[in-house]
Amino acid sequence: MNDATHSDRLIIGGGSMGLAVADYLAAQRGGQSVRVLDAHSPPHDQGAHHGETRLIRLAYGEGAGYVGLAQRAYERWLELEHETGESLFLPTGVLNLGPASAPFIRQVEASANQFDLPLDVLDGEAVSRRWPGWNLAPDITGAFESRAGVLRVERILTRWRERVGRSRDVTLTTGARIVRLESREAGGYVAICADGRRFCTERVLIAAGQHLAPLVAPLGIELPLTRVRKTFAWFEADERYSVERFPGFSLTDLELGVYYGFPDIDGAGFKIGRHDSGQPLDPGEPMQAFGDHSDDLSELQQVVDRYLPGVGRLKHGAVCQYIRTPDEDFLIDEPLPGLIVAGGFSGHGFKFASAMGEALGRWLETGTSTSSLGAFARRRLARG
């Protein structure tokens, strides 16, 4: 049996949350040794962080309980942009569209009212006049948040990785596919790689996406996480969809579904994806490429045809994965002493990664959670 490499703290998964935590701990210079293990070499397309861009919103339609976390994340994104000197956030604004009766739209307005956030509420005709790239009926409500915008995901992960690479305390180990996690009799845990390498620690954070639930199941921990194949695509578009003229958006259509999208950034094209629906997958199951499923293009094209008169032909499509809980809220907990799990972020998690790095980093470092994460404990799912 190989000797184990010891670190004071261990992070399994070097994606959005894992690298955010590593970056936070690297900045602390606390003297604790921290090792991040990833099966690949982030940023990559094997997790949930690829696709170049994500929206960040503050008037939150998924629930007012997220607003404080979103506000802290927003502050930390701007700090990161200032520290790196690179454009990581585009202040395009975000337009939330749907029937006035839609729960998402109602919650956006409620969040803005509760936290005194700037929000312009318009009918469909007013939206179409302000942003001619939309062709909307009058009964559609548009709730526009001017402070919101677009995060450049892969740039952010690259900057985090560079900063971790300069740290004396934090080490990123790539090509480390963890296949088993064991508890040690003396306390702490040992993570075992497919190639036989072993890494031991007193405290571990697992933020390993689709691999999280299978890794902790042998320890008697059941996490109700599901994996779903999702698609998104870039289309040709005219000047109405330039980053200066068109905001990021979310769209709730009671017939077609729930969608999100982005203006044409850096000439990549108009980007749109579907938030609901998708094809269930088992952990480790290969994903079909874009176009292999019969609905891949048609479910996006139907929105383009109905609402977006200046969007043209498909440029290219891609696939990604959501890892979800039954209620689609995050799952963050310490089910065993010294073992922190963080998952279920997909679909709306990346915007919070900067704040999660801070909160999870403190938890991993000190052993004490923060109140901001209490609502995400798994006991709520047991009650449900």
Rounded average pLDDT over 297-318 = 98
Contacts for 190-198: CB closer than 8 Å, 24+ residues apart: 190/4, 191/10, 191/12, 191/37, 193/37, 196/2, 197/2, 197/5, 198/1, 198/2, 198/3, 198/4, 198/5
Residue 42 has pLDDT above 90, yes or no: no
Tell me, yes or no, if 53 is annotated catalytic. Answer: yes
Per residue in 75-118, pLDDT (tens digit) is 999 999 999 999 999 999 999 999 999 999 999 999 999 999 99
The answer to whether 197 and 175 are in contact (CB under 8 A) is: no
198-257 confidence digits (pLDDT tens) = 999 999 999 999 999 999 999 999 999 999 999 999 999 999 999 999 999 999 999 999
Q: For 66, left (φ over 0), alpha (ψ -120 to 50), or beta?
A: alpha
Domains of the chain: 4-49+154-222+327-383 (3.50.50.60), 94-146+226-324 (3.30.9.10)
Q: Is 54 a catalytic site residue? A: yes
CA distance 343 to 360: 12
Alpha-carbon span 21 to 359, nearest angstrom: 8
Give pLDDT tens digits for 167-186.
999 999 999 999 999 999 88
Average pLDDT in the 299-326 region? 96
Q: Does residue 14 have a pLDDT over 60?
A: yes
Whether residue 311 has pLDDT greater than 70: yes
In this model, does residue 47 exceed pLDDT 80? no
Report residue 29's pLDDT band, with 50, 70 and 90 as the boundaries.
Answer: confident
Class of residue 72 by CB neighbours under 10 A (exposed 0-12, middle 13-18, buried 19+):
middle
> What is the pLDDT at residue 1?
43
Residue 383 vs residue 303, higher pLDDT: 303
Per the residue annotation, which of 49, 54, 229, 230 is the catalytic one?
54
Q: Is there a contact between 147 and 163 (Cβ–Cβ < 8 Å)?
A: no
Contacts of 220 (CB under 8 A, 6+ apart): none
At residue 339, does pLDDT exceed 80?
Answer: yes
Give CA separation, 182 vs 153, 193, 194, 332, in Å.
33, 12, 14, 20
**Is the pLDDT reported for residue 49 higher than 70?**
no
Of residues 61 and 112, more confidence is placed in 112
Pairing status of strand 311-324 against strand 331-336: unpaired
Q: What is the DSSP letter of 54?
A: E
Within 8 A by CB and 6+ apart from 164, the residues are: 19, 22, 23, 26, 36, 170, 172
Nearest to 76 by CA among 12, 10, 21, 158: 21
Catalytic one among 159, 351, 362, 378? 351
DSSP state letter for 305 = H
Q: Is 277 helix (H, G, I), strand (E, B) or coil?
A: coil
- DSSP string for 131-160: STT----TTEEEEEETT-EEEEHHHHHHHH
Catalytic residue among 271, 274, 324, 362: 271
Q: What is the pLDDT of residues 255-284, one digit of tens each?
A: 999 999 999 999 999 999 999 999 999 999
Q: Give yes or no for residue 346 having a pLDDT over 90.
A: no
Predicted local confidence at residue 31, as pLDDT: 82
Q: What span, in angstroms and rounded, lies between the C-alpha atoms of 232 and 297?
A: 9
Read off the pLDDT band of 383 (50, 70, 90): low
pLDDT digits (tens, 9 = 90+) for 128-171: 999 999 999 999 999 999 999 999 999 999 999 999 999 999 99
Does the annotation count 50 as an active-site position?
A: yes
Range 353-382 average pLDDT: 92
Q: How far apart are CA 346 and CA 73, in angstroms?
A: 16
Residue scoring higher pLDDT (32 or 199): 199
Q: Do residues 55 and 250 lie in contact, with contact meaning Cβ atoms separated by under 8 Å? A: yes
pLDDT at position 51 over 70: no
Burial of 198 (0-12, 13-18, 19+ CB in 10 A): middle
Going by their DSSP bridges, the two strands 331-336 and 9-12 should be labelled as unpaired
Of the residues 6, 50, 198, 306, which is catalytic? 50
Q: What's the chain's average pLDDT?
A: 94
Does residue 315 carry a catalytic annotation? no
What is the pairing mode between strands 226-237 and 170-173? unpaired
**Share of residues in the chain with pLDDT > 70 (%):** 97
Q: pLDDT band at residue 44, thresholds of 50, 70 and 90? A: low
Active-site residue flag, 320: yes
